[in-house]
Structure 1
Amino acid sequence: MRPSPVFLGILAVAILGGFLAAYGDSSSLLGSKDPMFIAGVVLLVAAGWIASLTLHEFGHAIVAYRGGDGSIAEKGYLDLDVRKYTDPVLSILLPLIFLLIGGIPLPGGAVWINRGALRTRATSMWVSLAGPLSNLGVGAALCLVVALVPMAHGLFYGLSYLALLQVMTFLINILPIPGLDGWGAIEPYLSPQARAFGARVRPWAPLVLFALLFGFRAVSNLLRHVANVIFGVLGGSETASGIGEYAFFFWQH
């Protein structure tokens, strides 16, 4: 169980982005067009989000492994190699593109768990919860780091937006919708009929949610509002995350 070179490379890109954001010119805030600052925020947020997605899937994997599914190690899920989490295009590239287009962090990779090997229903529940809770934990850790960074500092804004994305990822994944982790957490306790219904709609239910998020501003605004409330409780700054978001979507201005 050791970090793969791929994961370390992703972290290196995020660190490079943080360096560029820190030393770029963010003094004009929302009016900043400094290429170094903008490139730094884009690299920091994009690579940081991919790294957090890897940690999300690792969270599922490590809890399943300790809960009885020994096949997890054989599949390479404990190496923090994002390439092992299903198809790289569908699991990583497309969610990243959706993030760049709409600012909504959709669920990405997935680990295949042998639920029958898990010891208890509670273990199965915690396997599902481990992913979104890892995002919430990363968001909280980033907010703590941001608290140590001086205000009006380029790194402050990039990390703030990345932290907010972690909270949004947590909220989306924790919804009790078939195909998402929230449903996986309650599924072991549902009736056979309810589980059968979930299995039937699993391929389509997340697509309906994503259509609502992208097609109806009221739905996406509600998600953003709840995320900002949790973000604020964690100590995040909505103003700082907004500046980071503005830089991340520089081509829209």
Structure 2
Amino acid sequence: MSTTTHRHDERRISPVFLAILAVMAVTGWAVWTDFATSPGLAVFLFVASAWIVSLCLHEYAHARTALHGGDITVGARGYLTLNPMAYTHAVLSIVLPLLFVILGGIGLPGGAVFIDRDRVRGRWKHSLISAAGPLANVLFAAVCTAPFWLDALDGVPVAFQYALAFLAFLQVTAAILNLLPVPGLDGYGVLEPWLSYNIRRQVEPVAPYGFFIIIGLLYIPAINGAFFDLVDTVMQALGVPEPSRYCGLELFRFWRETPEFCQVG
């Protein structure tokens, strides 16, 4: 097999990702056209599949930036195929974030792809690799909220507005949480190249527990309140009204009774 063919195989989009993308497209169409018998189930499938797509893009952004930064091994690990099963921590990257969306309606950061940092030269490159994932979430949020901040909601079905609002909320929460300077998360990864060797050595044992540190911090009322105040500020700046996001969450939880003012169709 030639080198060119091998590289092409390493970057070929995974059928698993294409299948998830197809679910997102079909269920998005069902929400838009009110085709589904249960709009809540359609919203659930659309948001859940779109959330998984965004997680794949998050990890892909890390890998693609690392490739350009000098780590040519990311292709052999399957990171460039967008296959969610190829990630180093598939459970942390996909399963747990999706579970928390279902249970708590919040976009939590997941695990990261493994980057061979020894192949990357330059502190700025290291920082950019870590920042690339959250920036993918920011871009995804901007796309979801475009109809809101462009004042282009005319003709957009209400159920689809609600779904986009909730999906954008997940992207904003994931981006903010990922950018916190907590060991093991991307925010710390942005700062790490600029820290002294001694500080990095002291922090290193804590890094595997970053995900759980975030969960613990969110249980502290003051931190939880400050976090959601920041999220609400960002959502308002993007033109998304709080009722739309709330109704999106209520439709997403199709197994519960939807409040009357959120019912559509």
TM-score normalised according to structure 1 size: 0.89
Say whether 1:251 aligns with 2:263: no
Does structure 1 conserve the Cα–Cα contact (< 8 Å) formed by 2:43 and 2:252? Answer: yes
Q: Is the 8 A contact 1:19 1:40 kept in 2?
A: no
Question: How has the CA–CA distance of structure 1 residues 42 and 172 changed in structure 2, closer, same or farther, with 3 Å as cutoff?
Answer: same
Determine the structure 2 residue equivalent to 1:29.
none
1:15 and 2:25 matched: yes
State the partner residue of 1:155: 160
**8 Å CA contact retained: 2:40, 2:252:** yes
Q: Which residue of 2 aligns with 1:111?
A: 113
Q: What amino acid is the match of 2:223?
A: V
Q: What is the CA distance between 1:151 and its match in structure 2?
A: 5.4
Matched residue of 1:111: which SS?
coil
**Conserved? CA contact 1:20–1:36, under 8 Å:** no
C-alpha contact (below 8 Å) 1:173/1:181 kept by paired residues: yes
Distance in 1, Cα, partners of 2:110 & 2:57: 12
> CA separation of 1:233/1:62 partners in 2, compared to 1, >3 Å: closer, same or farther?
same
Higher mean Cα deviation, 67-76 or 178-187? 67-76
Change (3 A) 1:2 1:238: farther
1:93 matches 2:105: no
Tell which deviates more after alignment, 92-101 or 169-178: 92-101
RMSD between aligned alpha carbons?
2.0
What is the Cα deviation at residue 244 of structure 1?
Answer: 0.5
Q: Which runs of 5+ in 1 are unaligned?
A: 26-33
Secondary structure, aligned partner of 2:74: helix
Q: From 215, 220, 223, give the equivalent of 2:224.
A: 220
* 8 Å Cα contact 2:183/2:206 also seen in 1: yes
Please say if residues 23 and 154 of structure 1, whose CA atoms lie closer than 8 Å, have aligned partners that are also in contact. no
Contact 2:110 2:211 (8 Å CA) reproduced? no
For residues 195 and 206 of structure 1, what CA distance do their matches in structure 2 show?
Answer: 18
Q: Note if contact 2:31-2:42 (Cα within 8 Å) is conserved in structure 1.
A: yes
Structure 1 residue 145: Cα displacement? 4.4
For residues 19 and 90 of structure 1, do their structure 2 counterparts lie closer, same or farther at Cα, with a shift above 3 Å needed? same
2:237 to 223, 228, 233: 233
Q: What is the rounded CA distance, in whole Å, between the counterparts of 2:202 and 2:106 in structure 1?
A: 27
List aligned pairs for 1:67-216, cutoff 5 A: 67-145=69-147, 147-149=151-153, 150=155, 153-213=158-218, 215-216=219-220
Identity %: 39
In 1: Cα distance, 2:108 partner to 2:131 partner: 16
Amino acid of the structure 2 residue aligned with 1:52: S
Asked if the contact 2:89–2:113 (Cα under 8 Å) also holds between the matched residues in 1, the reply is: no
Q: Distance in 2 between matches of 1:144 and 1:90?
A: 29
| Cα pair 1:20 1:39 within 8 Å, conserved | no
Structure 2 Cα separation of the partners of residues 56 and 115 of structure 1: 18
Q: Which runs of 4+ in 1 moved over 6 A?
A: none
Separation in structure 2 between the aligned mates of residue 82 and residue 221 of structure 1, nearest angstrom: 32
Query: Structure 2: which 5+ residue stretches go unaligned?
Result: 1-10, 258-265
The alpha carbon displacement at 1:136 in A equals 0.4
How far the C-alpha of 1:154 sits from its partner, in A, is 1.3
Q: Distance in 2 between matches of 1:180 and 1:87?
A: 13
> TM-score normalised to the size of structure 2?
0.85
Q: How many residues were matched structurally?
A: 244
Deviations, residues 150-205 of structure 1 (Å, cap 9, x unaligned): 35521111011101110110000000000100000000000112111220211234
Separation in 2, partners of 1:169, 1:233: 17
* Matched-pair contact (CA < 8 Å) for 1:132–1:170: yes
**Residue 151 and residue 217 in structure 1: after superposition, are their counterparts in 2 closer, same or farther (change >3 A)?**
farther
Larger radius of gyration: 2
